[in-house]
Amino acid sequence: MVEKNLDFRSDTTTWPTPEMREAAAKAAVGDMGYGEDPTVNELERVAAEVFGKEAALFCTSGTQGNAVSVLAHTDRGDSFVCEARAHLYTIERGHWSVIGSLIPKLVKGVDGFLPPDDVRVAIGRRRRAGPKTSLLCLENTHLSSGGSPLSPEQMKEDYDVAKEYGLGVHTDGARIFNAAVALGVDVKEIAKGSDTIQACLSKGLAAPVGSVVVGTESLIEKAKYYRGMLGGSMRQAGIIAAPGIIALTKMVDRLAEDHANAKVLAEGLQRLGIELRLPLKTNMLFIDYTGIGWTGEDWSKACERLGWKSRGGAMGTRLVVHYGIEREDIEAFLEGLEKII
């Protein structure tokens, strides 16, 4: 039985499955700092295999995974190219500036895709006298575009431009499995378009903690150095790595259920006069309730009455569908909402 978790705010609110809790309790452990935690080592082996990369690194969070990856690709004072609303640029406390002394060069994406010519322009800017541009960062799925997946072909287009100029490529793949499932491709195909990828275990895949970074042996070795610097060299971390193995091996295919449930939710809301601000692509909806004359307060109160957590913004909000929310919950929510409206 799936424990109900009626929370639309984010897929970060997912709870571990009963199997994950049991695996955590029984996990074989050792000192990860000495490379001796067998469960962490197994998680890293599985992650490298799933992505078809040489090596992997278990990190405490997506932010840490992105930070150590960006540092692994760059020298202090370098610049990097990324999408103007990328999570890494807008949300992560500027680790690239504070720790890396890096200079961002922003490109406006189209549904999260960076037009190759614009990437060329960004790299080329001040090339002769300016800072060395050493990294291109992508985000898949792209959060600010409504959880848009980038296809292997799109990734390759930007990857090829990066390689033309000798740049490394890092992908913030917090929700890369949502992309793979939505596109119906193996995540290995998407991963070919990036030298390193950070993938969150703790979002739609429902593990309680952590991310993996995958890539070449040499980049992962560098990332490991920076993980140590950022306090990510943990001790008996097998307890939190064990759910991560289940996340990677057993929780990926079920993301299709979230996408299907998000579609049912979107269609139901539209029937009630609530619009989508962005097209639905994966597991997140960006809605606008001004058409029915509602404010954020109206939305929040209605959700609270129905037993759901959802923060209402002035004109609309984001709803994320995830493990712990089932079809019957969405249907009950829509029925309740209709009565309130």
Buried b (16+ CB within 10 A) or exposed e, 304-314: eebebebebee
| CB-CB contact of 141 with 176 (8 Å) | yes
Does residue number 197 form part of the binding site for ligand PLP (CB under 6 A)?
A: no
63 contacts ligand PLP (rule: CB under 6 A): yes
Pattern 2-21, binding to ligand PLP, x per CB under 6 A? ----------x---------
Segment (H or E) for 223:
helix 217-229
x/- track of binding to ligand PLP for residues 71-110 (CB under 6 A): ----------------x-----------------------
61 binds ligand PLP (CB under 6 A): yes
As beta bridge partners, residue 173 has: 199
Contacts (Cβ under 8 Å, ≥6 apart) of 75: 132, 134
Say if residues 21 and 341 touch (Cβ distance below 8 Å).
Answer: no
User: What end-to-end distance do the CA atoms of the chain give, in Å?
Assistant: 32
Q: Which is nearer to ligand PLP, 325 or 337 (CB)?
A: 325
CB of 144 to ligand PLP, least distance (A): 9
Find the DSSP H helices in the chain: 18-26, 38-51, 62-73, 87-90, 95-98, 116-124, 152-164, 176-183, 187-191, 217-229, 238-250, 255-271, 296-305, 327-340
Report which of 237, 136, 152, 148 is spatially closest to residue 196, judged by C-alpha positions: 136
* Position among 200, 205, 214, 246 found at the interface with ligand PLP (CB under 6 A): 200
Pick between residue 142 and residue 289 the one whose CB is nearest to ligand PLP. 142
139 near ligand PLP, rule: CB under 6 A: yes
Report which residue's Cβ sits closest to ligand PLP. 62
Nearer to ligand PLP, 53 or 175 (CB): 175
Nearer to ligand PLP, 206 or 337 (CB): 206
- The interface region with ligand PLP, picked from 55-63, 73-81, 129-137, 304-312 by CB under 6 A, is 55-63
Report the interface residues with ligand PLP, using CB under 6 A.
Answer: 12, 61-63, 87, 139, 143, 172, 174, 200, 202, 211
